[in-house]
Structure formats: C-alpha cells, structure tokens
Amino acid sequence: MIAIDIRFLETDLRRWRSAITRLEKQAMAELDENPKRNAIGYSNLVVKNIMIQKGMGSYARYSPRYEKWKEQWGRAGGFWQLFGDLIRSITHFRVTEGRMGVRAWMGGIPPNMVDSGGKSWFGRGGKGPPKKISMYAYVMEYGGTWPKAGTHAPRPIFGPTANEYQNVFWWKEFEKSRIRLKDKWR
C-alpha cells in the first residue's frame, strides 16, 4: 500500500481558495456578460452594415413604382431604410433566463415592435397602417410571395451580418472573457 502525505501552508491554501472563489464569480458573470456583449456587438454591426449598404449591390432593384413611392414618402436611397423605424428598433435584449440565473441575449429586433406609420408594399397611396417591424424585416431577409404584399426578392442583411460577426468579432469577445478569467487567478 502506498501512502501519500500532502501538506499545505495555511496561507497558500487561503490564497488558492480565494483565487478559486474569484474565478468562480467571474465565470458566473461571464455567462451573462459575454452573450450580452455579443448581442450588443452584433446589433451595432447590423446597423453599420445597413448604414453603409454593405453587400447590397447585388440586391434585386425595387420596382419603379415602389422606388417612386419610397422617394415621396421615405428615404429614397438604399435598402432597409424608409422612415428609420427598423434601424431605431435594432438593439440587444434579454430572451430568457436559464439554469443558475444564466441569461440569454439576442441582438436584432425585439418581438412586437411596431413601426411609426406603416409601409406600402405596392407603392400606392399614403403610408398605410402600422405593421410589425419583424414582419417586414422577415420579408426583406427571405423574400417570397405574400398575400396582400406581392412578390419580393430576398435582400438579406441579418444572416450575412451574423456570419461576419461570428467569423470576426465573436472570437474577440471570447478572448476578452478568457483574459478576464485568467486575471482572476493570481
């Protein structure tokens, strides 16, 4: 039989316990803060990509009638912009609370956001009744044929921006979390 005798200095043991406690607290904080930072970063990147019209040169043009209506009632130039309701609604928000108090965060358009005065799908008449912003963002993102709205070509911004964020910025936030955890072990 082998017997192993391990002895610690009391001050070293206190330091290790203290470091483990700090590390545990920081790990719990990062479970909330890292997703929140990513949701904020993604939301900001979506707004930036809309403002600079990134990747939109390949989009199908709007119909001439809708372009004329858009010029009269909203912002003539660019995609994803009309009255500014969509851009103003893009934010980060808490989605749910999970185990151990962990919160899930999302960047984008919160549910049930309504625009300021509606949109005209066909480029006719006035501004129309208010609509859910997420509904017309869905139509812009995926396209398709919609009752009372006609056929729309896809003009995606959220999906390509999510890919860009994941490939470039997500790793930077992960690294920040790793450094914060490492700094707690001293």
Question: Is 94 part of a structural domain of the chain?
Answer: yes
Question: Is 3 part of a structural domain of the chain?
Answer: no
Structural domain count of the chain: 1
Residue 126 to residues 71, 123, 129, 149, Cα–Cα distance (Å): 12, 9, 9, 15
Question: Is 5 part of a structural domain of the chain?
Answer: no
Rounded mean pLDDT, 119-140: 73
> What residue numbers bound the domain in which 76 lies?
11-184
- Which positions ≥6 away from 92 have C-beta within 8 Å? 36, 39, 40, 42, 43, 105, 106, 107
Evaluate if residue 110 carries a pLDDT over 60: yes
**Mind listing the pLDDT tens digit for each residue in 4-45?**
888 878 888 888 899 899 989 998 888 889 999 999 999 999
Question: Is 145 part of a structural domain of the chain?
Answer: yes
Question: Is 123 part of a structural domain of the chain?
Answer: yes
- Threshold 0.75, pTM exceeds: yes
Question: Is 106 part of a structural domain of the chain?
Answer: yes
Question: Is 64 part of a structural domain of the chain?
Answer: yes
Question: Is 97 part of a structural domain of the chain?
Answer: yes
Instruction: Give residue 1's Cα distance to chain centre.
Output: 59
Evaluate if residue 121 carries a pLDDT over 80: no
Predicted confidence at residue 176, as pLDDT, reads: 92
Predicted confidence at residue 81, as pLDDT, reads: 79
Top mean pLDDT of 90-104, 139-153, 161-175 is at: 161-175
φ and ψ at residue 161, rounded to 5 degrees:
-70, -35
Predicted confidence at residue 125, as pLDDT, reads: 59
Predicted confidence at residue 36, as pLDDT, reads: 92
